[in-house]
């Protein structure tokens, strides 16, 4: 389904950490990775974190979001988006997705805003950015924060700007299946110096930066190790080739699985999709269900995944409210193998297996 590509200087940089004994959260690679990632995103500041989920929590905490507050989150996303809100005692309020992009439907948001709403968390799903102009206009009108969940969208572009440069604070994940990885890991990005310093304070247990072992606030241990950052820096050096390969995989999938039969996320020239996952919707008249398709593909040695289950149908967030678009997309959706070691023959084999299953 997914596997990291470790063909750069990962081993060299990790061995440097081991040889120098700088293996914890202090070390030159942490700073180097942060500075390089900020430059990549086109922002002033980046701060490493232990994983993508806590990077979201850190962002929200730095904004002062807590009990009694509400954050608007798409229901069609990975559960970490909502969990980060709940960890702080705030309430995630779910929004519908658009059928064409699968991303948050901006037309659905305004009716969800209440006096308790403090932020909107757009999620750039599977590598395609949300409509950030509409979201920022809405946020400005109602005096709300935008916190981008860009966990799946390293390098994605909207109108010439990269993911991670639109919100007041933005979050990334470097889990092992992401476009670049540190094994586990995350990053927050911002142009706001005060928020950067606030997050840095909170990330390191709240210790005063100039008075060692003096703690001014209740903070967290959300730090990334130097070893992880070393891997991340080596990965970032090759992100251009990783992104190019994913675009090639998407082109090949579209060739072998025609979009008139297998629907995909709709893009336009304003958007540059980075295809963290190449995902399809099975035909509405498919004789085989999505789950049966996954099982049959697995029996042929092809690993796939369902699209995310909408958050409102899962036990921690179960709601009687209906989100028909998110439910339909989730029920018909399938993530296909997407990683840099795949060949054209691999893509063709996956595509032929899917079409064979649907024609049985």
Same domain, 300 and 333: yes
Same domain, 90 and 213: yes
Q: Which of 237, 263, 285 is the last residue of a domain?
A: 237
Same domain, 119 and 171: yes
Query: Would 2 be classed as within a structural domain?
Result: no
Which residues in the chain show pLDDT less than 50? none
What is the per-residue pLDDT for 360?
Answer: 62
Query: Would 203 be classed as within a structural domain?
Result: yes
Total domains in the fold of the chain: 2
Same domain, 185 and 259: no
Q: Which of 237, 260, 275 is the last residue of a domain?
A: 237
The structure's pTM equals: 0.96
Same domain, 224 and 326: no
Same domain, 230 and 261: no
Same domain, 87 and 155: yes
Long-range contacts of range 221-224, CB-CB < 8 Å, 24 or more positions apart? 221/50, 222/49, 222/50, 222/54, 222/55, 222/57, 222/58, 223/25, 223/48, 223/49, 223/50, 224/25, 224/30, 224/48, 224/49, 224/50, 224/182, 224/185, 224/186
Same domain, 189 and 56: yes
What is the per-residue pLDDT for 284?
Answer: 94
Same domain, 183 and 283: no
Query: Would 5 be classed as within a structural domain?
Result: no
What is the per-residue pLDDT for 260?
Answer: 87
Domain hosting 301: range is: 239-358
Q: What share of residues in the chain are helix, strand, coil (percent, to 5)?
A: 40, 15, 45
Could you give the CA distance from residue 306 to residue 79 in angstroms, rounded to a whole number? 14
């Amino acid at each position: 389904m997914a596997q990291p590509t470790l063909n750069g200087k990962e081993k060299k940089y990790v061995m440097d950490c081991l040889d120098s004994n700088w293996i914890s959260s202090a070390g030159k690679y942490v700073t180097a990775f942060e500075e390089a990632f900020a430059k990549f995103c086109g922002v002033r500041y980046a701060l490493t974190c232990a994983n993508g989920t806590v990077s979201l929590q850190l962002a929200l905490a730095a904004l002062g979001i807590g009990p009694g507050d509400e954050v608007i989150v798409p229901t069609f996303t990975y559960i970490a988006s909502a969990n980060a809100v709940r960890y702080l005692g705030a309430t995630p309020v779910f929004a519908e997705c658009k059928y064409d992009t699968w991303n948050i439907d901006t037309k659905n948001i305004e009716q969800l805003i209440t006096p308790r709403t403090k932020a909107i968390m757009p999620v750039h799903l599977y590598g395609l950015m949300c409509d950030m102009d509409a979201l920022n206009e809405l946020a400005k009108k109602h005096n709300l924060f935008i916190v981008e969940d860009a966990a799946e969208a390293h390098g994605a572009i909207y109108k010439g700007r990269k993911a991670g440069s639109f919100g007041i604070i933005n979050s990334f994940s470097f889990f092992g299946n992401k476009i670049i990885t540190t094994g586990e890991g995350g990053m927050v990005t911002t142009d706001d110096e005060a928020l950067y310093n606030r997050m840095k304070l909170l990330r390191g247990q709240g210790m005063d930066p100039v008075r060692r072992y003096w703690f001014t606030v209740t903070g967290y241990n959300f730090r990334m190790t130097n070893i992880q950052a070393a891997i991340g820096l080596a990965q970032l050096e090759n992100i251009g080739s990783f992104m190019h390969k994913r675009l090639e995989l998407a082109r090949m999938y579209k060739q072998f699985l025609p979009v008139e039969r297998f629907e995909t996320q709709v893009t336009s020239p304003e958007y540059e999709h980075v295809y963290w996952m190449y995902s399809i919707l099975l035909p509405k008249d498919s004789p085989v269900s999505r789950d049966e398709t996954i099982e049959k593909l697995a029996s042929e040695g092809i690993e796939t995944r369902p699209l995310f289950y909408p958050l409102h149908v899962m036990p921690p967030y179960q709601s009687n409210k209906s989100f028909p678009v998110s439910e339909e997309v989730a029920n018909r959706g399938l993530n296909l193998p997407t990683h840099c070691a795949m060949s054209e023959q691999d893509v063709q084999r996956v595509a032929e297996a899917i079409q064979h299953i649907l024609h049985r």
